Every structure is written in C-alpha cells, then in structure tokens.
Structure 1
C-alpha cells in the first residue's frame, strides 16, 4: 500500500481554499489534501491579516496531522511566498516545497506592478472588482468551479498587508537552507515567473530543484490547468514516499 502523504495547498490573494476544489481527486486517495484559508480570506475573512498570523495558519496546516506522514507544502501567488517563508523558518521539516506563480522578486518593477494593482482596486471599489473577478472566472473556468469560487467570495481587506509583507520580506535567498526538493511552477503567460532562475539558483541546499512551465497558463493556472499542476505536484508526492530522513 502506498505511503500516505500530506499535501498542504495555500491559496492566492483574494481567493480561498476553494480554489483547490479539484485537487483531492486529482492527487488520489492516498494523499491527504489540506486547504487552509489565510486570515482575511474565505472562512477567515473577518480576521485581520498579519504576516505572523498567516505563517501560523500555514504551520497549523503542516503540523496538524499524523507526525509520521511526510508533508509537501505548495502555495499559489501570495500562498507561494508564504510557503517559502515558512520553509525558510523550518528548512528541514518538509518533504517537498512547490512555489506556484511565485517566482518574481517582489521588489523594483515587480513591487510597482502590485502597488499599481492595489491602487486600481481601491479606486474601483469592492463591488466593481468582485464583478470583474466573477466575469473572469466565468470565462476561464468550468461553470461548476466558477460557481464555487464566486460563492466563497473574495478577500480584499488583507491585500495591502499581505503584499507589503511579500514585498518587504520575500527574496530568493529564503530558499538557501531548504533541504527538500523544490518545484517552481508557473504559467507560460504568468507575469510572476520572470525571476525563476534566481529562485532556482538560490535553492542550493535542496536535494533537487525543477522548473515547470504550464503551456498557455496565466497567473491563475492552478485553477485553469489543474491536471498539469497536479501532475507537477505528483513528482513531489512520489519523492516524499521514498524519504525517511525528514525532521518531525
């Protein structure tokens, strides 16, 4: 019988754990899929977003199961930067780390891009931005998944604090001491893959590092290309089953 593996999937900003709705089925019955909501998002929308609070949520998800089961931690966008930050603080704890759409250095032009998006959303207001996101997901996703995402709603209140944390704290050097395999996945048309080689070079202690580009994928590729994303994650799951040297 295959060794169980725990996969923690951390969502991107504005969204929630429902973005991973299809992944339990795609990853299989011997994989425990955990999809926490970050503060100010999803079921925690009423909570204030702080960087420390978000890392605590990630830590609870990682440590919340059987301690003998290896853990793969993956995050999309904001969730990817948080996953990297948590791994930097626990560099030998994980069986695998995947950064999905989170390999742009959030400084200089990258930081300016997100400041511009934040200003635009503030000018448009919550209702107009929500309607725009609804239309985007209606166009990109199967109707049943779009309905689930829209029903869960969007978290806007935590965006300034979340991206301030990313821009001031997150750099490729955070990967330097991480010992588990590191997977860097991005959509072909994803603006947050521009510095992937820098992240790859920084992961000097990892057993192995691999970059994967999802053809025709936008930044929301984990939602639009779940089969390709799950296939990439499966490489970490398979590797985790062969490991017995993970700190618990």
Structure 2
C-alpha cells in the first residue's frame, strides 16, 4: 500500500468544492482528499468573505501535523489563498500547487480583475448564473455541468475576495516556502502571464515545475481533469518520499 497523502484542493471564485467532483476517481484510494468551501461559496454561501476567514478555512483543511504529508493546491482565487496560507506556514506543506494563479494581481494585472468584477456587478447574479450555465453546458459533460449548477454559484463574495487577492498576494510570498511548487496553467489562460516571476520567487523550494495544459482555458481544472491530476501527481509522489 502506498503511503497516504492528504491533498487539499481549494476551488476558485464563484464555484465550490463541487468543481473537484471528478477528482477522487482519478486520484485513487490512497490519497485523502479534502475539499473545503471558502466563505461566501458553496455550503458557506451565507458567510461573508474575509481574507482571514479564507485562510482559517484552509488551515482547518490542512489540519494538525499528524505525520501525514500534506499537499495544498488551489485554482484561481483558491490558488492565491493557498499561496498566502503557505507564506504564513512556509515549512508545513509537502507540496504547493497554484492552478491558474500565476498572474501578479497589481498594476496592469489588477485591471483584469477589476474589469471582471465590474462586469459581474453590472450583470447581476441571475444573469451571471445563466452565463455560467451556458459556458459549462458548452464545455463540460452534461452530468458534471448539472452538478455544478445544482451546487450553485457564489457571487456575493467576489468584490471582497478579489480585493484581498489584489491587496495581499504577490509572487514574493513564495520566497520562504520549503515545499516543491507546481505552477499549472492552461495554454489559453490569461492568468499565466507572470509565471516566470512566480517561478523565480520560490527560491527556497527544492524544485519548481511549470506545466502548461494544451488548449486549456482558465477553467482547465474543470475541462482537463486528467491532465491536472497528472500534474498534481508529481507533488503527491514527492510527498510520499521517505523523510
């Protein structure tokens, strides 16, 4: 039996833990998968989003140091939250994965986030939900798209969530992280623009690997789960190495 590894996957903004529904079957039984919902998302949709609250959720998912190696990975908003948690706990993890979270959220990069927030605010939650429904119907298998719709979308926390990302997150936060760092992005993902800067920033990591998912959009963890798991498996395998 392979040594157990705890893999914590943090969803992106608007979505919930439901985005990882296809991952347990791909990862297999020897990975303890932990899938938290961030504040204002999923089962926590009634809670306000705060940056400290998001970090607390991730800390609860990582758990106490019980001897089981922990790999933490997140997509988009979840990637930035994961990076911030790792920066506060630089020696706790055995692997850190940033999925679609390799753009510096400052200067020109911040304009993208502010623009998206303005569009979503102008459209309102009902029209935004219908737009996401159509997107997922076009990109995903019907049963999985239906699961995401049923789980619902979290729009209320977007302004505070992305304000936290823009105010708190910089690639230099990776400087003290002693775990391997994996930077995974879709080939067509706009949030991969600063991946080299993130790679250079992780100077305490034993290794930093950059993976590009061919033809992947920003939502590549939804559309390309097998390729995403293959990338994450590199961290899981490292975590299983003898101390």
Give the TM-score category using the shorter length. Answer: over 0.9
3-state DSSP of counterpart to 2:71:
strand
3-state DSSP of counterpart to 2:3:
coil
Question: Partner residue of 1:175?
Answer: 174
Contact 1:200 1:209 in 2 (8 A): yes
The C-alpha deviation readout for 1:11-69, integer Å capped at 9, x for no partner, is 000000000001111111100111100000000000010000000000000016x7111
CA distance in 2: counterparts of 1:15 and 1:67, whole angstroms: 30
CA distance in 2: counterparts of 1:50 and 1:214, whole angstroms: 31
1:30-109 equivalence runs, <5 A:
30-63=30-63, 67-109=66-108
CA distance in 2: counterparts of 1:7 and 1:168, whole angstroms: 27
TM-score, normalising length: structure 2: 0.99
CA distance in 1: counterparts of 2:43 and 2:153, whole angstroms: 10
The C-alpha deviation readout for 1:53-100, integer Å capped at 9, x for no partner, is 000000000016x71110000000000000000000000100100000
Unpaired segments ≥5 residues, structure 2: none
1:92-131 equivalence runs, <5 A:
92-131=91-130
Contact 1:95 1:243 in 2 (8 A): no
How far does residue 243 in structure 1 lie from its aligned partner after superposition?
Answer: 4.2
CA distance in 2: counterparts of 1:80 and 1:222, whole angstroms: 12
How far does residue 144 in structure 1 lie from its aligned partner after superposition?
Answer: 0.8
How far does residue 117 in structure 1 lie from its aligned partner after superposition?
Answer: 1.0
Contact 1:176 1:202 in 2 (8 A): yes
CA distance in 1: counterparts of 2:124 and 2:195, whole angstroms: 33
Contact 1:130 1:154 in 2 (8 A): yes
Unpaired segments ≥5 residues, structure 1: none
How far does residue 109 in structure 1 lie from its aligned partner after superposition?
Answer: 1.5
CA distance in 2: counterparts of 1:72 and 1:214, whole angstroms: 20
Question: Partner residue of 2:22?
Answer: 22
CA distance in 1: counterparts of 2:135 and 2:242, whole angstroms: 41
CA distance in 2: counterparts of 1:122 and 1:106, whole angstroms: 19
Task: Kindly report structure 1 stretches of 4+ aligned residues shifted beyond 3 Å.
Answer: none
Question: Partner residue of 2:207?
Answer: 208
3-state DSSP of counterpart to 1:125:
helix
Question: Partner residue of 1:163?
Answer: 162
Give the number of equivalent residue pairs: 243
The C-alpha deviation readout for 1:157-209, integer Å capped at 9, x for no partner, is 10000000000110000000000000000000000000000000000000100
Q: CA RMSD in A?
A: 0.8
Contact 1:22 1:226 in 2 (8 A): yes
CA distance in 2: counterparts of 1:143 and 1:84, whole angstroms: 32
Question: Partner residue of 1:217?
Answer: 216
TM-score, normalising length: structure 1: 0.97
CA distance in 2: counterparts of 1:101 and 1:165, whole angstroms: 17
CA distance in 1: counterparts of 2:172 and 2:153, whole angstroms: 31
CA distance in 2: counterparts of 1:236 and 1:122, whole angstroms: 37
CA distance in 2: counterparts of 1:2 and 1:9, whole angstroms: 20
Question: Partner residue of 2:234?
Answer: 235
